[in-house]
Structure 1
Amino acid sequence: MASAINRVGFRFTGKSRGTTKLWNTFGWIRSTQVSKNYFTYSPQVSQVLDREPKWVSADEAVQCIKSGDTVFVGGAASTPIEVLRSMADYGKQKKLKNVRVCSMHTEFESPYSEPECEGIFRPTAFFISANLRKCINEGRGDAIPLMLHDIPYLFERKLIPVDVSIITVSPPDNHGFCSLGTSVDCIRSALSHSKVIIAQVNKYMPRTFGEAIIHQSHIDFAVKHDRELPSHGDKEPTPTESAIGKHIAENLVEDGATLQMGIGAIPDATLSCLKDHKDLGIHSEMFSIGVIDLVRSGVVTNQNKKLDRGLIVSSFLVGNKKLYDFVDNNPLICMRQVSYTNNVHVISQQPKMTAINSCIEVDLTGQVVSGSIGKRLYSGYGGQVDFIRGSAEGFDGKGKPIIALGSTNPKTKDERGVPSSKIVPLIKEGATVVTTSAHVHYVVTEFGVASLFGKSLRQRAHALINIAHPEHREWLEKAAFERLKTMPCA
């Protein structure tokens, strides 16, 4: 039995001595009195075990999934789309039922969320990606409101027991180590508490370090499938986005600051305006291509950081081939779980911590809507509050929590035919407030910077109206008076 276990690569699902459950492609089998001296199981996925993965096709790998299972899916640029397509086909063929599929943010299509998969798969999002919005808003999937730093605790506290994890990794090196590449986020915690691991092995996945390392001996089924990673961030910023980036760079980012940038064009536009700054650092849940030129020009040095000095710390990456080539085998890049990158106590120790995040709308009291467009669920909590609060609590008292948005939404128009204002008297019915008015310090549009911390409601309204689009200022002032029963003033 011992040699068979070693040869086919069964995975232990418990650490106790005596009878231990093992899994193979034919179902559960049971071995008795397996000695820990021969085969020591460790949930730490960088620990080297005496076993090999079983190399199979995607169709073969997914046969371990059964009705009622919980499946975790790695996401962002590392979404294992080939295996997910096979999983969707297998579920329909075998008429599986009630398979819960959990993810943080996935790219490509999501075949398991299509209407014909209702009852077979139930998508569950910790942060709603574009490919799951329709499914969740139609009631065929679930969203869990959650701060980004809390997601790993779902697995560590066994609130979501994981039967199967499906991930993407780089090919193993000479020592058998693979890399999670572009996404560590909550993946490492899910893997450590998963009964079975399926890995799509992709030669295009860059090798990154930190907590991104996983030894191949923890992989049960390895599926070779090479494909280019998804590409984002190639668009030039609009004049509005460039103006916002310039306001932030010139007024709020100091030399020696540590930066966090949320997802979107505005953070990228801000980075392009920082070429004359000095000794910046990066501590962020993600970063994109705008960082590369700042590193190469010596603007980003990370030398002033109190933690991880000299390193760019991130949890996941979204960009294009330029970014993926930059991080590949680059010891400057340290990938960590979101429970570290987004920990308020870690963030607050960084010098002049400057957090730049965007949103959907802001009301005149400073409430920030980021999770939904009215009742329509759009994204989630993400890491916005983690970094807004962490920068506000900065040990040096020089942190800058920033919410940045264009003053209008060009896709919608009001009754006058004017693009609708994103600064509003009242948030839309059902809208998800991610960052409260008590958290907000700075709000930036293309028309300037509003400083709200310590301001009364009428002072906040005045500051926000002054950075609203001129077409909306008179209307907003009247609406503020109706709401506050007093005129906005400085």
Structure 2
Amino acid sequence: MSWKEVYESRIMSAEDALKKVPANSRMFLAHSMSEPTYLVEYMCDHKEWFTNVEICHMGSSGKHRYCNEEGMEGHLRHNSFFVSGLSRQAVMDGRADYTPAYFHEVPGMLEDGTITVDTVMLTITPPNENGEVSLGLSCDYTRAAVKNAKLVIAQVNDQWPFTISDGARLNVSDIDCFVLHNEPIPELKPGPLTEVEIGIGKNCASLVEDGDTLQLGIGSIPDAVCASLADKKDLGIHTELMCDGVMNLMKAGVINNRKKLIDPGVATTAFIMGTREMYDFVDHNPEINMQPVDYTNDPVRISMLDHIVSINSAVQIDFNGQVCSESIGLMQISAVGGQVDFVRGAAMAKHGKAIIAMPSSVKGKISKIVPVLDEGAAVTTNRCDVDYVVTEYGIAHLKGKTLKQRAKALIEISHPNFKPELIKAFEERYHCSYES
């Protein structure tokens, strides 16, 4: 059969495709913006078709109805690999589960059966003239899920960008069911930056040198960092996530990827989030190199990128330098994601820098620099891995520092509202004057 015959023979309705999902099985949804919204909503509208189906994913652009609506019990249950605002309460209440994992390890666990996958649902482009479809905005673990699932259901969306790198392309024969449904892609639009975020961005940018390769996340702090890099030259991108700030720097010529030792000339990423302008920018763009997350986030590969600078955020950091980036006490609010992947990769790289960037406080009311982490808080990045910590008040370099020196350096960049109590805690713990 030709690829066209294969494709046309597998086109079906959402109902026909979803009724193929077996009972007592595990379904993975594609990551982030690549979640097939139409199919997921249709599934939740007809929950009675399903018996004990576990819904797994990391980030999601959807509504999480499968863990937040009444009556899902016995039909659909969520197992999150990256807890979000829409799944936090369900996890806390025991109506959903959380599985911790380093991001770079997820594809390997799908491949070796550590994590089994029965069904995967994703969004793709229509096929090109060679019978290839593109994963578009999400390669990460999605490619491994497709390759190892027993049933692959794809929503074909003609508004989906066609990212052309080898890591993003599949053949129509890799997919069992094609459901044709066009809809706008969810957008994540950057908001206005606060003075605190601008200060953090400038402090982070001061650690970036011409020719460095960057790993950035998404949100106000990465946006602020990007806004402070306009005077840099010959920057590169090797990251798990690419957003509008990176696009703007590429358009301005600040990021040209010329000096990267791996994948020179292209921006390497595992997934993309942003605005419609961003999605149009990456469509058929040869400078965008989409790859699975076990490629982008492999610490060994990252270590081969001389002058790699990773920038990640945190919820809390204690006097020891222990970083919690995923929970508030016992409440799981996100996950480890790729933070440790890049912190360790940057630590092994020549001239590498790993930055933990965060506001010094929550609106001046709660200090994010604390003597000890909240009870039950997860240690995301351990104290021996932490390198630079940045707030709006400055930079603390912790590598090679004693416990006293670490605590003092962190107090120096804390919010003024909390310095007196932090100094008191320092003196009580270390039995010495803070000024000595």
Match of 2:359 among 402, 406, 416: 406
* Deviation at residue 441 of structure 1 after TM alignment: 0.7
- Conserved in 2, the CA contact under 8 Å of 1:208 and 1:330? yes
Indicate the residue corresponding to 1:393 in structure 2: 348
Matched, 1:101 2:55: yes
Deviation at residue 120 of structure 1 after TM alignment: 1.5
1:347 aligned to 2:302?
yes
Does the CA contact (< 8 Å) of 2:312 and 2:355 recur in 1? yes
What is the CA-CA distance between 1:108 and the residue it aligns to? 2.1
Q: Distance in 1 between matches of 2:28 and 2:62?
A: 16
For residues 231 and 487 of structure 1, what CA distance do their matches in structure 2 show? 51
Aligned to 2:413: 467
Letter in 1 for 2:65: P
Distance in 2 of aligned mates of 1:50 and 1:340 = 33
Letter matched to residue 435 of structure 1: T
Q: What one-letter code is carried by the residue in structure 2 that aligns with 1:407?
A: S
Q: 2:122 aligns with which of 164, 167, 188?
A: 167
Distance 1:425 1:178, change over 3 A: same
Contact 1:49 1:217 in 2 (8 A): no
Q: Which has the larger radius of gyration?
A: 1
The Cα offsets for residues 375-412 of structure 1, whole Å up to 9 and x where unpaired, read as 11111110000101111110x2x1110000001102xx
Q: Which runs of 5+ in 1 are unaligned?
A: 1-5, 8-47, 411-417
Q: Deviations over 1:353-382 (max 9, x none)?
A: 000001111111111111111111111110
- 1:154, 1:124 → 2: CA distance? 15
Larger CA deviation: 337-346 vs 477-486: 477-486
Paired position in structure 2 for 1:442: 388
User: Does the 8 Å CA contact 1:164/1:196 hold for their aligned counterparts?
Assistant: yes
Give the Cα separation in 2 of the matches to 1:487 and 1:364.
16
Q: Aligned pair 1:207/2:162, yes or no?
A: yes
Contact 1:458 1:489 in 2 (8 A): no
Secondary structure of 2:71's counterpart equals helix
1:129 to partner: Cα distance: 2.8
Give the match's secondary structure for 1:64: coil
Contact 2:31–2:140, Cα closer than 8 Å, also in 1: no
Give me the TM-score of the superposition, normalised by structure 1. Answer: 0.86
Indicate if the aligned counterparts of 2:147 and 2:174 stay in contact, CA closer than 8 A: no
Q: Displacement of 1:176 after TM fit?
A: 1.7
Structure 1 pair 310–475 and aligned structure 2 pair: CA distance change class (3 A): same
How many Å apart are 1:50 and its aligned residue? 7.5
Does residue 128 of structure 1 match 2:74?
Answer: no
SS in 1 for 2:182: coil
Decide which of 4, 7, 10 is 1:54's aligned counterpart.
Answer: 10
After TM superposition, list the pairs within 5 Å mapping 1:3-18 onto structure 2: none
Distance 1:484 1:118, change over 3 A: farther
Q: How do 1:413-428 and structure 2 match up within 5 A?
A: 419-428=365-374
Per-residue CA deviation, residues 143-192 of structure 1 (Å, 9 max, x unaligned), is 11110100011211112222211000011112221110000010111111
Residues 63 and 451 of structure 1: is their aligned pair in 2 closer, same or farther, counting only changes over 3 Å? same
* Alignment length (residue pairs): 433
Q: 2:377 aligns with which of 425, 431, 436?
A: 431
Please tell me whether residue 224 in structure 1 is matched to residue 172 in structure 2: no
CA distance in 2, matches of 1:425, 1:401: 22
Aligned-residue offset at 1:263: 2.7
How far has the Cα of 1:452 moved from its partner?
A: 0.5
Q: CA deviation at 1:234?
A: 2.4
What does residue 253 of structure 1 align with?
Answer: 208
| Residue in 2 that maps onto 1:116 | 71
The CA deviation string for residues 279-316 of structure 1, in whole angstroms up to 9 with x for no partner, is 10000000110112211222111111111011100000
User: 1:155·1:189 contact (CA, 8 Å) conserved in 2?
Assistant: yes
Aligned to 2:23: 67
2:229 is the counterpart of 1:283: no
Q: Following TM superposition, where does structure 1 have runs of at least 4 consecutive aligned residues deviating by more than 4 angstroms?
A: none
- 2:187 is paired with a residue whose SS is coil
